[in-house]
Amino acid sequence: MASIVSVNTYTHSVTYVTDKMLHSLKYIITSTGLDPMKFVHDWAVYELGITTWLDSRHLEGLVLEVRSALGSLVTRCDFTIDYSYGSGEGSMWVDTEALKYAIAKFGTIPHNCNYSVIVQTKAGRPSVAGWGPASLLPTTGFVKQSLGTTIGTSYLGAQASYYRKS
């Protein structure tokens, strides 16, 4: 009697990338002195949206936008999704040192700052409860710094970048 085992490695990649992006955002939030309570409270909403849109290939990016008490941009951290990343050979990794480097560059953020998690998706994405329209603050006067690919799997990658004042 023969047995056949089938594993959907793309699903594993979606789960891994979702988890690592969310944990990376939590690390950035806590390491820069921002209050993580809102983020932790909304974790299930973030997880459902990101997983759904990665799985449907509609997710283009995930953004942590930090703004001052007056509403102006303080910094921004982006994860851009690469659906062509990987060779299908089963490796999964995350580069936490790159995130530590970025945090060292923009340092502690004033305690009265607030933040939003915003997704960038392709047209036609499925609706997910808890998500609605949002727009990003302008990045005029800021320079985008790439950290390269910080999360990689067999099928998906996520490139990280941050914005600093020019």
- Write down the pLDDT at residue 5: 44
- State how far the Cα of 112 lies from the Cα of 123, in Å rounded to an integer: 35
* Among the listed residues 162, 151, 10, the one whose alpha carbon sits nearest the alpha carbon of residue 73: 162
The C-alpha atoms of residue 26 and residue 78 are separated, in whole angstroms, by: 13
Structure-token pair, residue 26: 């939590």
Residue 62 CA to residue 23 CA, distance in Å, equals: 13
Domain boundaries, the chain: 9-122+138-165
Strands 73-82 and 93-94, by their bridges, are unpaired
Q: What is the pLDDT along the chain (166 residues), one digit of tens a residue?
A: 565 444 578 888 999 999 999 999 999 999 999 999 999 999 999 999 999 999 999 999 999 999 999 999 999 999 999 999 877 677 899 999 998 988 888 777 888 999 999 999 999 999 999 999 999 999 999 999 999 999 999 889 999 999 999 8
16 by Cβ neighbours in 10 Å (0-12 / 13-18 / 19+) ranks as buried
What SS3 class is residue 111?
coil
pLDDT of amino acid 88: 67
- Would you state the pLDDT for residue 6? 42
| CB-neighbour burial class of residue 122 (10 A; exposed 0-12, middle 13-18, buried 19+) | exposed
Per-residue pLDDT, 103: 87
- Which pLDDT score is estimated for 142? 96
Q: Report the CATH number of the 9-122+138-165 domain.
A: 3.30.900.10
Residue 124 Ramachandran class (φ > 0 left, ψ -120 to 50 alpha, else beta):
left
pLDDT value at position 123? 96
Candidates 30, 137, 38, 122; CA nearest to 78 is 137
